[in-house]
Structure 1
Amino acid sequence: MPAAAMAPLLRFTDVRPFVSQVGARYASRILAARRYGDQVRLRVTNPLQDARSWTEAHRLCNGKARSFSAGPVSARALVKPVVADVWAKAESWVVFSDLHLSRRTCDICLQVLQTVHAAAVARKAGVIFLGDFWHSRGALPVELLNMAIMELRVWQCPAIFIPGNHDQVNLEGSVHALQVLEAANPYIKVISNPVEYLGALWLPFRRDHLLIEQAVQQHGQINAIFAHLDIVGAFLNEANQAKDGIEPSVFPQNVPVYTGHYHKPHVVKGSRIEYVGSPYQVSAAECDQPKRFLVLDKQWQKIDEIPVSIGPRHFVITQDENSPSQILEGVRAGDRVRWHLPSSTLEDSVKLELDELQARGVSVDTIFPIVAFKPRIKEAVNLSVFDLFDLYAQSVEMNDNVVRMAKDMLRSLNLPAKLIQRPQVRCELEHVELEGFGVFLTPAKYPLAQRGVRIVSGKNLDSMGADSNGAGKTTLVMAPLWALTGSTDTRPDSVRGLSSAEVVHHAAKRARVRVDGTINGKSFAVERTTGRRASLKFFYDGEDLTCQEMRMTQSRIDEIIDTSVLYRTVFQGQHGGGDLLEASDKEFKEELSKFMAMEVWMAAKEQSSQELRSKKIEVEQFAGALEQLRGQCEQLQKQVDSCMQRSQDWEISRSSKVVSIETELKAAKETLQATNASFATTYLQVSSTMTAWESRMKELEQTLKDGMESWPLSTQNIEFQQERGNVRFEKLLQKHAELSQQVRMVETSFEMKGKALEAFQRNVATSVVCDKCLQPIDAAHSSQSLLQLKSELTTISDQREHVVKELENTELELKKIRKIMEQEKLAREAESAKQKQLQEALKQSSTNILSQLNRLRQHVSSAQMVLNTAVPLVRASNEDSSCTVDEVAEGKSEEFASQERSFLGHILKLKTDVQSRLSIETRIKELEMNYHTVKGERNRYEAEYDVLSSLCTKAGIEYQEKQTLLSSLREEAGWLKEIDIAFGLTGVQSYILEGALADVQEKTAFYLEMLSGGSLGLLLRPTRMTKSSKVTVEAIDKVAVVRLSNGSLENRSLRQLSGGERRRMALALALGYSQFASQRGGIQCNLLVLDEVLQHLDGEGQARVVAMLKGLPQSSVLVVSQAHSLLAGTFDLVDWVIKQRDTATVEVAEASVLRAV
């Protein structure tokens, strides 16, 4: 558009009527305004949010030109009306409170201001505001200030504002940020001090509660009280009630009290004190809270409530919500839903609802649960030693014998009772006195009891380069720690804190700190002095318990109150606040062990390890002795086995011999049985032949007799003569023959007796039966027979010698007679020649007969001997038979020779059969004797086997007994091993550690939820996975959990956290651990000291810390903060440590507290 054609620019005052149509929120965003005829065109933008889209009547006006009907332009100047005419004429009032205007809430707050103004105008009522118009005190952003002024300048109804704590700047509350609003609009009246007005008592916020109490007590006749107050018992939110503030009893029971400060609309129980509440849901903590404006009549009585629903509303859907769809029905665009889902895996129905909500313009935060480690034994740290061990034993299914042994071992330790079950101590610190300590050269006294949340800030007036640093804030709040323990809070370069010399003021000779209070209701005082002469005094329950040595005095203090617990439960230093988060596994476990009675388990572990080592040595020694015994048993068993094998071999050999004998005996008996028939036949043949030959002998004898009788007489005469002549010769010859015969017989008898003796001796040596009669031989009879045979043999020998001598004499005489007879023979030869010839035939015949007769007699005798005698007679018969055969062979008659040969053949056969039969029978007897001998022979290895078996059995029994004892020892060693594991880090200690970590994590999560709004979590796990080997080790693992924009969770290492995230997590862990240490250490203290907790935190983080500090359970929370910080500007009560001229003094915020001290 050409410049000449451009409409002239208008001043803001010229377009005020038009601005009122679109709202004051646009006033500060107008870039230009031009008039085109009867229209004014405004060009606007959003300077607070970088041209971000904003809505007007649900339409985007993002830097676009809008046209409005202008109407006549009239520049109207507002004139301040008469006060009495404006506020006194109001017939009713619309009341609201706690606007908390900030950059984040500017659009909502402007809408609230417009809504409350419209409601007042509609009712022709005034407006009452009860404090906290601004969210941040101190310096205000210019754009916010301009926006508020532009909105409030258009109000045409009377309004009364009182400042709240967020609006005030100085301690007295006289300087506040509502004064500029009063200057912007004459209809707005700001009451800065307690005053009665329009029949009501108006009470702006005051840090000194005594001033409020005095104002209430001094009031006249009033109909109501309007205030901005802390009331004891009021609800800060749905879960917490105020512990500090003014008692409800201070206010009259018949007068309604309308107050701001707490955002939950409610009436304090048992009173007429009503909190108006915030006009919109400032945070998710106010979800489900209905918001409203109160409508009061002229007499200040509540006549109505105006429900309001401005700004985004907060909805929280929990996991156990039965019907979330009913909650989501009333959700509108711009609302915020915090949906807690059971897992990151969404069901289809949930996905559909999420998509629908997002399509409707609803901001949805899906919250998935942080999977926390669950301890195997709940409340393990709260149990006694024996109860805890019982639960552990049940969880690992420990044997009853092991449980009894472990409990006996625990009882034998004789540990102090406080290690078995910590005593409960309630410590109330009342005040501390300092002199010469740190920067406090002159004596200073500081109250510690019933301080509420108290900010301790400082002013260093000695330094041009510092505002509050070095003023002595930390020195003041940490002085009780030094008095009780002798140590200060940790420093960056040392965990031990300052030395004794370093705590003394440079201009003082000594440093002295005294802390007074009560322990379990009994008064105590500890005074520690350091310098040239250090001392420690301890007074308890009216007694002086000071000892001669400081060490002993400190021990007496620690007996009553474990001062080591104070480092974590009471005093949170600025350098130690994050050390737990940074602590290594060893350091963290050492911290936990201070509050888990780990001394008991460590002592028990040491005892069990010692007993286990002793038992292992005993088992090893016993096992060595048992191994030697086993070797002996094995050696004996080898000997037994070897002996048994030899015995078995011997038995096998004997069995083989028995079988062989039985087989041979059976064969011999069968052979003997087989010869019976042949022997019987031969015997019969010999017997019949003997009978025939006996008849033959008789015939021959008769023939010879007949022949001799028929011998002629001449022959008889010759023979008579010869016989007479030869009588003597014959006699001699006969005698010679007889003697020869006797010699032969004696020799034969001698030979036979000798042979019989030899045979008898052989028989006796080799046989048990007589070889003649085939009867068993008796030993006594054998000896008698042997003696008899020897005697007979001697007798025969003597007879032989006598006969031989006699034969020799006879032969000599016979020679003589023979010689005579030879002579006579010659004479007779002639005479008898004829007779001889005649007699020759008869003689020859007689000779033959005699020869046959002799032969027959011999054969019969031989046969009879064969039949009746044994082997010696058979042999003799053999010899005789051989001679007879030879003689027969000389030539006899063929018939006789044939008969003789046949008879001799039968005899030989019979002798052979007899000899064979006797041999077989002898063999049978030998075999039977051998059989009985072999069967009756005793195993020569049995005795050795019995001895070895006995030794081996005894050794085996001893080995079994010792093995049983070794098993018992090993079982006891196994029990001790179980107990050693149970008492170790992986046993009961790990259960305690799990329970402690779970407890710390749970308490930390509570604070971390408040500090991060659920965006951060911390997992404390008793084990972690190694990076290299990927194995689980017993080491505490700290894992940060970050909630992403889609509500899912992501595990991160602590290194990945930002500085602010890390600070929130460290603070939450410090507070959670402080609560854990307080409970487990058995010490409850009224004091909590937090030093510089806002480091690295942004505005939201600082605001969350402020909200969290208000909910802490301690009656005194001292928070060290720098001057002009958010904490110092937010909290109502600030104690100042002022350093000037090298010494520090303390200014306590409350005069009432100063007077009480």
Structure 2
Amino acid sequence: HTDLLGRVAFHDQASVMSLLHAGDKAFKDVLAKVLELDVWAAAKDLAGARLKAAKQTLTEHEATVAARQDYIDRLMAEVAAAQEREQAWEVSQQERLQHAKKEAVKAAGSAADAGNGCREAAVNLEQLAAALRSQDTTDRIPFSDSADQDDADGLDESNQLEEMTDSAMAEELGALLHAIEEKLRGLESKSVKLQVAAASTATALAAAEAHLQGYVDKGKGGAVCTECLQPVAEEHYAAQMERLERETHLIREQHEVRERSVELQQQRVREAQERRTAVRARLDAAGERQAAKQAMLREALSRQRERARRQAQRLQEQQAATAAQERRLGEAGWLVEKGIQTGEQIHALGEESLHDLGAVESTQPPAATQLATSSGCGEVSWNALGEAMEQTTTALELAEASASRLAEREAALGRMSKEGNPHCDERLRLEAMVRAEEDRVESSSVLADAARGEVEQLLEVDKAFARTGIQSYLVDEALSEVQRRASAHLEVLAGGSLTLELSATRKAKSRAGAAPSFP
């Protein structure tokens, strides 16, 4: 009995089911009320935890909605600033378009004027070229050699003969110098050999004298044989001494003879060198005389070539002047054609641009051209033609530059007309960001509303738990009933099981009306 009450007090359902008999329905109902305490308390705790979590989720969603709404407000401020920049750009663009249109009108007027000037210069050049073609232009540069005739011969027959003599002498001296050099090389080679022989005899003499002196030194203390180490007899020592002195004397005489031969050979070498120097001096003098005569001949030939060159240069200048006149006439014709054609095209282009731009300005008609004449006479000069060609070229370049500027102005005007507002894309991007944030705010608001509904439901459940909680008397009644019936049923317990499921518990709960349902 005590063990049963202890087990029931701790709500050990497995022990209760193993001890109680399944046939007593009233006891099971009372016991179910006691066991329902666990389910009721767990449900109440779970409801409280869910209510707390739902409140936290609601707070997070409301904070997210507030933050996104604040971000939307900042984006709307940026959208307003972008709209202001867009409107300011539109105003500035209109001003730029007006300025570009004025520049285009000015460029069109300049192009039309430049076209007129080019056409006028071309007409003037055409008149000058026609006048020059009709005029007699057969004046040529007179060809006359006004230079004094210099001596053309440069050298007479005597000079030529003397030159031939110098040449022959130079050849002979060259041959003699070659022979002397060959002989000098032989003498120098022989001198070197004699010097080598003298050096060898000097070495031999020094060795013989040293040997003799050593033998003399050995004899002062008594000569000893180098083989048997016995004293040498005086007769043998004297004979050996005489032999060594004789050999040394012969070597000394041979050395003196070779030294005299070396000196004699060196004297011959010096004489050969002096002869070579003298021959070279004579050869150099002959070469200088021949070089001077050749220089005189070259100078005479140079004067002749200079006269021929001046004559050829005058002829070339005359031919070049004729060719230049013909070339200038051809260039003048080409400039006339190009100037008239380009002037008309650019003038028409300028008038067309003025008409398209709606300008009321009109170009002046071309002025009458005047024929350029040389001062002081009624004839057309080549200088006037050159000036007219330069004027036509300048007018042509000016017209082409004006046409280029007109094309640039019209292109700039076209680009500015087609140019889009750079701030429009920024405004559209900000508006797209605002719409995206509004969609996110709407999604967060839906989640916040769902969390708010869940919190309200959980609050109702929590209030229901507070209103219909199990009272202590119900627990006391259930425990007393268990205590009363436990002793009666302990005897009939035969094993069995008590099936106590949650569904049966909820049915008993609904019959007793003790606890509310929990979702």
Q: Structure 1 length as normaliser, TM-score?
A: 0.17
Relative to its length, the structure with more helix (as a share) is 2
Relative to its length, the structure with more strand (as a share) is 1
Q: Structure 2 length as normaliser, TM-score?
A: 0.33
Using CA pairs under 8 Å that are at least 6 residues apart, name the structure with larger relative contact order, 1 or 2: 2
